[in-house]
Amino acid sequence: AGAGAGAAVGADGDSDDDVEPVGGPESPARPVRGHEALRSTRELAQRFMEQRVSWRETARRDVWPLLAAVAQVKLLHEGVSYKSLLAKGESGFATVITNDVGRTFPRAPLFARGGGAAALARMMTAYAHYDPALGYTQGMCFLAGALLLTGMAEETAFWVFVSLMTRFGLAGLYRPGFGLLGKVHRGVDDIVRTRMPALASRLPG
């Protein structure tokens, strides 16, 4: 074959672009072929991504309770525990909760095959007892389910949810009339029109 047809191949069939390893006294000096180096690089990248994803998930699990001030929230609810709320049994929202849980992150392994669905149903039942004036409204499952997906313990996820609903006012998204939801919707519309006018021009309304 002429020049430019590819890497030259020696008499032993090995490519000239093989990389010599850094050998030690017990490491036989064997050339690492190009495809082996590529496979090794891919495996290293895959391990890095797995560790990176694992770190992000662990960080979310640990940081959410801190940001939500779960320790302080529990102190403010002295005498009220997750177990005591569950001990009250089913709430008047049992059917709605069961139906909504089945529609929450159905493709996520935690909910499709793990115990996530049962944990989520317990969380929503406990919250219905915690805030009987609001009880349960369709859509709460997605907020609570997202907390469970971080890997945090069920009880911790419940108190983070309580904090988000009370300290951070997210309960207003679900109260009759959905007043806060309307405000958020209008706020998002304003941001899109101001910062992304090209996108806003393509959106209805």
Answer yes or no: do 95 and 51 share one domain.
yes
Q: Which of 126, 137, 127, 140 is nearest to 176 (CA)?
A: 137
**What's the pLDDT at 35?**
54
Bridge partners of residue 10, in order along the sequence: none
**What's the pLDDT at 136?**
94
Q: Which pLDDT band, with edges at 50, 70 and 90, does 32 fall under?
A: very low
Answer yes or no: do 128 and 190 share one domain.
no
Q: Specify whether the CB–CB gap between 142 and 105 falls below 8 A.
A: yes
Indicate the number of domains in the chain: 2
What's the average model confidence in pLDDT over 150-178?
Answer: 90
How far apart (Å, rounded) are the C-alpha atoms in residues 16 and 7? 7
How far apart (Å, rounded) are the C-alpha atoms in residues 102 and 117? 7
Range of the domain at 85: 43-166
Higher per-residue pLDDT: 2 or 151: 151
Q: Does position 53 have pLDDT exceeding 90, yes or no?
A: no
Answer yes or no: do 68 and 139 share one domain.
yes
